[in-house]
Amino acid sequence: MILWKNCRVKRGFYSPARAREATEEKSDAMSAIGKEELQSGEQQFKVTPIVLVLVSGAFVTILNQTLLVTALPSIMRELNLASNLVQWLQTVFLLVNGIMIPVTAFLVGRFTTRRLFIFAIGSFAFGTLVCAVAPNFTILVIGRIIQAVGAGIMMPLMQTVMFIIFPVEKRGSAMGIFGLVIGFAPAIGPTLSGWLVNQYPWRVLFYIVLPVALIDMVCAYFILKNVTRLTYPKLDILSILLSTVGFGGLLYGSSIAGSVGWIHPEVLMTLVIGAVALVAFIIRQFYLEQPILEFRVFQYSLFTLTTVIGMLIFAVFIAGATILPIYMQEMLGFSPLESGLMLLPGAVLMGIMSPITGRIFDKVGARGLSITGILILFLMTVLMSRLDKSTSFTYLAIINALRMFGLSMVMMPSTTAGLNQLPSKLIPHGTAMNNTMRQVAGSIGTAILFTIMANTSLDPKKYGAEGLIHGVDIAFLTASVLCAAALALSFFIRKPGLR
């Protein structure tokens, strides 16, 4: 932060208050980061290379989450697996990824930026290599777990660094890039993997990702700067265990609830154990001098409000991205590649719009953007609740593109507004909490909508494909209710005093 402020002093933004603040932060940074990582008064680190390294790492790890979607049938055939078993390649990745995110705030305070990033991308690269050469399903699952360890650290670390290296008035543009990553990467995954699997063996998916991760790791070694502040929090083993069981239980229980039902004994037991462990984890954090994850971030009203809005919107986004391909392939007869191509225009549009809405946020704030974006998302989700067996590819592509357009106006602007309210020492905890809540909301929201879809489908023997599509329509109608709730909350977004 001090480095960026030094830049601003040179460009004519000097004030005595800023100068005193810069001097104090420089003293703290010297002890926390190390003299060798700070630039002298005449030097400045370049922000763009750092952002490129961070974005590349985050992009490849998020892309990896959806890359296997259309490859699962090929993996089933080669390794002779049942469908319920092969799904663990997706489930275990999301589970471990979700468990790692809450721990990231602790890791950010314990390790330097460069070391933590290199560990994250290195772990992801090693896991990718294990997956590529895996001789059997067990080794393949182990590779996915190793991948997920690195991927879980990557996103909150990227957000934290972006908030440090950019001043408040530029964070909207910076987080617009972040929005591009979380919107574009998962959307092109099914399209890319669908094309590749049609041409090559499924292992090529990992061989394509691996060199990108390795190159990014080498670039990080030479380019990335240590900008996060080391607080050296104590490792509380009990907190780590409670966090793992708590968040892991909620994520696992909700992930299997969509297929076996919410009253299944395994689901109920997992959710109860997870909830009890999570409550114990939260209570323990209030008694620790240096908590693993600081729940006091929820004392900041705007952060709490925008986190809830983000949870609702992300649940709608993830559920829609999952339900639409199933609807197209299972009920309309489209190929996996075609269903992936349907998602592509929306991904491209969100990629274009995210930096633009970020710059708009820097000028006008999040309230107007969020209200407009959620309204568009709500209207398009309502239209998605009127699908039938004659719905065209073009119609789906256009409606989904407009949904993504609306999402680009909401997700990152509202998140940035909430995080801007936090003091700098709570930014790592805020980013970890935000990502954790979004992950939990996406998992639980998807499970709920899938359950609704299954329970409201009509007998296909009597009603044919229209019977199954009825369940899809009800699921999207339920998603529109979530959008309506987020829309109502968005009117309470205000512009806090800049920190």
315 shares a domain with 208: no
Q: Which of 57-71, 174-188, 340-354, 384-398 has the lowest mean pLDDT?
A: 174-188
pLDDT of residue 83: 64
Report how far Cα 458 is from the mean position of its chain's Cα atoms: 34
Top-ranked range on mean pLDDT: pick from 60-64, 299-303, 352-356: 299-303
Q: Is the pLDDT of residue 4 over 50?
A: no
pLDDT 10s digits, 437-476: 888 888 888 888 888 888 888 877 777 778 889 999 999 9
Same domain, 218 and 299: no
SS3 content of the chain, % helix, strand, coil (to 5): 80, 0, 20
Comparing CA positions, the residue from 397, 417, 402 lying closest to residue 490 is: 417
Same domain flag for 217 and 302: no
Radius of gyration of the chain (CA): 22
Whose CA is closest to 420, among 306, 311, 292, 290?
Answer: 306
- For 135-144, 172-181, 405-414, 473-482, which range has the lowest pLDDT when averaged over its residues? 172-181
Instruction: Please say which residue of 224, 250, 271 terminates a domain.
Output: 224
pLDDT of 129 reads 96
Residue 327 falls within a domain, yes or no? Answer: yes
Last residue of some domain: 182, 205, 224? 224
489 closest CA partner among 319, 366, 362, 360: 366
Rounded alpha-carbon distances, angstroms, from residue 311 to 280, 316, 467: 22, 9, 30
Whether 34 is in a domain gets the answer no
Instruction: Give the span between the Cα atoms of 436 and 256, in whole angstroms.
Output: 19
Q: Has residue 270 got a pLDDT over 60?
A: yes
pLDDT tens, 165-175?
Answer: 888 888 888 77
Residue 30 pLDDT > 70, yes or no? Answer: no
Residue 10 has pLDDT above 50, yes or no: no
Q: How many domains does the chain have?
A: 2
Output the pLDDT for position 324. Answer: 86
Q: What's the domain range around 66? A: 46-224
Tell me the mean pLDDT in the region 228-254.
88
Share above pLDDT 70 across residues of the chain, in percent, rounded to a whole number? 89
Q: For residue 370, is it within any domain?
A: yes
- Give yes or no for residue 66 having a pLDDT over 90: no
Please indicate, yes or no, if residue 445 is contained in any of the structural domains: yes
Query: What pLDDT does residue 460 have?
Result: 76
Q: How confident is the model at residue 160 (pLDDT cuts 50, 70, 90)?
A: confident
Position 15 in a domain: no
Tell me the mean pLDDT in the region 359-375: 91
Tokens of 343: 């998602």
Calculate the average pLDDT of the chain.
Answer: 82
Task: Pick the range with the lowest mean pLDDT from 24-38, 70-84, 120-134, 232-246.
Answer: 24-38
Residues 99 and 209 in one domain: yes
Among 436, 375, 342, 401, which residue's Cα sits nearest to residue 98?
436
User: With bands split at pLDDT 50, 70 and 90, how would you rate the model's confidence at 371?
Assistant: very high
Task: Provide the CB-side half-sphere exposure for 186 (13 A, CA).
Answer: 15
CATH classification of the domain holding 364? 1.20.1250.20
Mean pLDDT of 140-167: 89
The pLDDT assigned to 496 comes to 55
pLDDT-derived band of residue 150, with 50, 70 and 90 as boundaries? Answer: very high
Do 208 and 344 belong to one domain? no
Average pLDDT over residues 487-491: 95
Same domain, 209 and 113: yes
My answer on whether 318 and 217 are in the same domain is no
CA dist., res. 472 & res. 21, Å (int): 55
Are 195 and 324 members of one domain?
no
Domain-located, residue 126: yes
Query: Looking at 224, 240, 260, which one is the last position of a domain?
Result: 224
Model pLDDT, residue 395:
94
Side chain identity, residue 493:
I
- State whether 318 and 182 are in the same domain: no
What sign for the dihedral angle of Cα 28, 33, 36, 41? negative
- What is the predicted pLDDT for the residue at 424? 84
Q: Is residue 241 included in any domain, yes or no?
A: no
The pTM of the full predicted model, rounded to 2 decimals, is 0.79
Other C-beta atoms lying within 10 Å of the C-beta of residue 312:
23
In terms of domains, do 218 and 298 share one?
no
Q: Are residues 50 and 193 in the same domain?
A: yes
- Is residue 346 a part of any domain in this protein? yes
Considering the domain architecture, whether residues 203 and 116 belong to the same structural domain is answered as yes
Q: Residues near 485 by Cβ (< 8 Å), separated by ≥ 6?
A: 312
Interhelix angle 336-364/367-384, rounded to 10 degrees, is 160
